[in-house]
Amino acid sequence: MPLTRLTLRDFRNHAATRLDGLAMFNVLVGENGAGKTNVLEALSLLAPGRGLRRAQPAEMAARHGDGSFAVAVEMEHGEVVLGTHTQPAAPGRRLVRINGALGPAARLAEWLSLTWLTPAMDRLFAESAGNRRRFLDRLVLARLPGHAQTSARYENALRERNRLLADDREPDPAWLEALESQLAETGAAIAAARADLVADLGAVLETLPEQPFARPSLAYASDTPIDAEALRAALRQGRRRDRAAGRTLTGPHRDDLAVRLAAKDAPAADCSTGEQKAMLIAIVLAHAQLTAGPRPRLLLLDEIAAHLDPLRRAALYERLAASGAQVWMTGTEPAPFAEIAGEAALWHVHDGVVTR
Amino acid sequence: MASQEIEALASALARLPGLGPRSARRAVLWLIKRRESALPQLLAALDTVRQNLVECRTCGNVDTTDPCGICADPRRDARALCVVEDVADLWALDRARLFTGRYHVLGGRLSALEGVRPEDLTIARLLERVQAGGIDEVVLAMNATLEGQTTAHYIAERLEDLPVRVTQLAHGLPVGGELDYMDEGTLAQALRARRPV
Ligand SMILES: [Zn+2]
């Protein structure tokens, strides 16, 4: 069992929540606002990044607590403990603790791989490319823990270069050179990792039928050279243009995940809401199949099951069960989960209190 | 409510790196309790530092003499120069007694976002030292952070046309590290820096 226990303290509307006896399927049922998604959000903090709501740590602390919160999970029956918390004196700074020792959040990815789908992602294909890059990076991270560090280093170098370019003074060429060489190294690695993942996902999706989940075809839309030397040359060449724009116009921070509905060969953004959602599920399921490996995997599916017809729902459960991932799902009613009632742990959530 | 004197001391101590207001107040209480035993020693030590410590105008080290003990030591290899970000890095390297040459302290690292520019560091003085001749090798010993490595690249670039060998500390596996536990970034560095055995 990937996770065996989850505890929340002063996390959003959960004053003290403890979930023991977790199963491969964990279902949280309750009214809107009861605190189901908060449990998924707490779990999502056990991956590098800002979690599934992209909220600030201070917003996550319970209103009636001391301003801090704590989330912890146990794996392998307490042998491994991952946690994240804030302190009352510094509610904006989230700390990560792995087996009792504080460490960088990027390390979490070495222990757990996490993917999620939320209603907020329903419009992912029609939204800005930034959200799709984040989605893609989360998928990459699930199999390449170092991707978080590479990305952080890239972002850092990018901010430095943009600041130099936006300066009134003419930027120092040797300084630009120094930053570009690091941008090239990390940027090429990021582009290569994303392209690899998209290719591998595509190969898995190829093998799937058109139904019941509309099959997407994926492409990594990128002008970024995957070779560091070529990216470095492109950055050097683009200096004048970038200086005029006040920011860097070449690199993986400009790339996109292009998704089309295979059957109609239409851009995903032009498809129906139902088709878009089905394609997202197909991607996440293909990814779950792809990343089967030594690290425990968690799939957080917020409000997914209720919106599927019985046929798709049955197919979803079947594929989830085969994926080997621990699955967390939410819903307002227990009925859609009847088919997996035998193997699932069902929790009722009411006003921040969770009962079995 | 503590007296003005105590508050003044506590707020002065709170500014020390790694201390903060709470630890500072605890330190003040500790000192007050040991007014007769520990405080005179501390005062004497502080006064010695104030009167005797100077920054070496050659390398930027802090010592009781200028030039510092390292710069003045004739047994040190004048042909090798190790460039570090801060005095603390110099001390860390010199504690190990592995490097027999001399040092150059930059006084920080390049950071566009924090407004630290090349002219805020002692890079011009480093170039002068190298241009003056007599140095065969410059060892860049910057931190493996983005800013540290940017600074190293920058200095390497500026030294390019001068007749010195520029080397850099290796990045890769830590001593005692297990491959299984390394992130891909560290492994990639270690692979790039591989050498014949
Ligand atoms: Zn000196």
Higher pLDDT, A251 or B97: A251
Q: What are the beta bridge partners of residue A8?
A: A17, A71
On whether both B41 and B120 belong to a single domain, the answer is no
Q: Are B44 and B103 found together in one domain?
A: no
Both tokens of B178, joined, read 């297990």
Q: What are residue A299's DSSP bridge partners?
A: A115, A327
Nearest neighbour of A182 by CB, restricted to B118, B150, B181: B150
Residue A241 has a CB neighbour count (10 Å cut-off) of 11
Residue of B97, B101, B81, B99 whose CA lies nearest to B155: B81
What is the separation of C-alpha B186 from the centre of its chain, rounded to a whole number of angstroms?
23
Q: How many CA atoms lie within 13 A of A54 on its CB side?
A: 7
Give the nearest partner residue to B153 out of A146, A164, A181, using CB atoms: A181
Confidence of residue B1 (pLDDT cuts 50, 70, 90): low
Q: Is the pLDDT of residue B108 over 90?
A: yes
Cβ partners under 8 Å of residue A256, min gap 6: A129, A132, A133, A220, A221, A222
Superfamily name and number for A126-292: RecF/RecN/SMC, N-terminal domain (1.20.1050.90)
Residues B81, B162 within the same domain? yes
- Give the mean pLDDT of chain B: 91
Please give, one letter per residue, the 3-state secondary structure of A36-81.
HHHHHHHHHCCCCCCCCCCCCHHHHECCCCCCCCEEEEEEHHHCEE
Return the residue of A nearest to B185 by Cα. Answer: A146
Q: Is B191 on the interface with A (CB under 8 A)?
A: no
In this structure, is residue B23 part of a structural domain?
A: yes
B65 alpha carbon to ligand 1 midpoint, in Å? 9
Contact A177 B153 (CB under 8 A): yes
Give me the CATH number covering residue B19: 1.10.8
Q: CA-CA distances (angstroms) from residue A314 to A42, A278, A311?
A: 28, 14, 5
Asked if A182 and B153 come within 8 Å (Cβ–Cβ), the reply is yes
B184 touching A (Cβ < 8 Å): yes
Domain membership flag for residue B177: no
B14: in domain: yes
Alpha-carbon gap, residue B121 to B126, rounded angstroms? 10
Chain B stretch 80-119, residues whose beta carbon is closer than 8 A to a beta carbon of chain A: 110-113, 117-118
Size of interface A-B (CB pairs under 8 A): 64
SS3 A261: strand
Contact assignment for B185 to A146 by CB distance below 8 Å: yes
pLDDT band at B77 (very low <50, low <70, confident <90, very high): very high
* C-beta of residue A52 within 8 angstroms of C-beta of residue A40: yes
In chain B, the number of structural domains is 2
Q: What does pLDDT average to in each consecutive run of 10 residues of chain A (356 residues)?
A: 93 95 94 95 93 94 92 87 93 92 86 90 92 94 86 95 94 95 95 95 89 90 91 96 95 96 92 89 88 83 87 90 92 93 93 92
Residues B162 and B84 reside in one and the same domain: yes
Q: Out of B153, B181, B183, whose CB is closest to A149?
A: B183
- DSSP, collapsed to helix, strand or coil, labels residue A25 as strand
Q: Is residue B197 part of a domain?
A: no
Distance B18 CA to ligand 1 centre (A): 27
Q: Do A174 and B158 touch (CB under 8 A)?
A: yes
Is B7's Cβ below 8 Å from some Cβ in A? no
Three-state DSSP class for B60? Answer: coil
| A178 vs B153, B181, B184: nearest CB | B153
Q: How far is A255 from chain B (nearest CA, A)?
A: 22
Indicate whether B113 belongs to any domain: yes
Q: Which residues of A belong to the annotated binding site for ATP?
A: 30-37
Q: In A303-354, which ranges are continuous DSSP H helix?
A: 310-323
Domain assignment present for B99? yes
Q: Looking at per-residue confidence, does B195 or A162 come out higher?
A: A162
Which CATH number fits the domain that encloses residue B143?
3.40.1360.10
Q: Does domain A1-112+295-356 have CATH number 3.40.50.300?
A: yes
Supply the range of the domain harboring residue B17.
Answer: 6-52
Q: Are A216 and A205 in contact (CB under 8 A)?
A: yes
Q: Under an 8 A CB cutoff, do A178 and B185 touch?
A: no
Among candidate residues A96, A79, A80, A83, the one with its CA nearest the CA of residue A43: A83
What separation in Å is there between the alpha carbon of B116 and the centre of ligand 1? 23
CA–CA distance, A52 with A303 (Å, rounded to integer): 13
The pTM is what? 0.84
Nearest-CA distance B70 → chain A (Å): 30
Q: Which residues of B touch A149 (CB under 8 A)?
A: 183, 185
The answer to whether residues B90 and B20 belong to one domain is: no
Is residue B184 a part of any domain in this protein?
Answer: no
| A chain contacts of residue B118, beta-carbon cutoff 8 Å | 172, 174-175
pLDDT in tens, A304-354: 887 888 888 998 999 899 888 999 999 999 999 999 998 999 999 999 999
Nearest by CB to residue A157, choosing from B146, B184, B185, is B146
Task: Spell out the domain ranges in chain A.
Answer: 1-112+295-356, 126-292
Q: Is residue B91 part of a domain?
A: yes
Contact yes or no for B150 and A178 at CB 8 A = yes
Please, what's the b/e burial string for A71-80 (b: 16 or more CB within 10 A of its CB; e: otherwise)?
bbbbbeeeeb
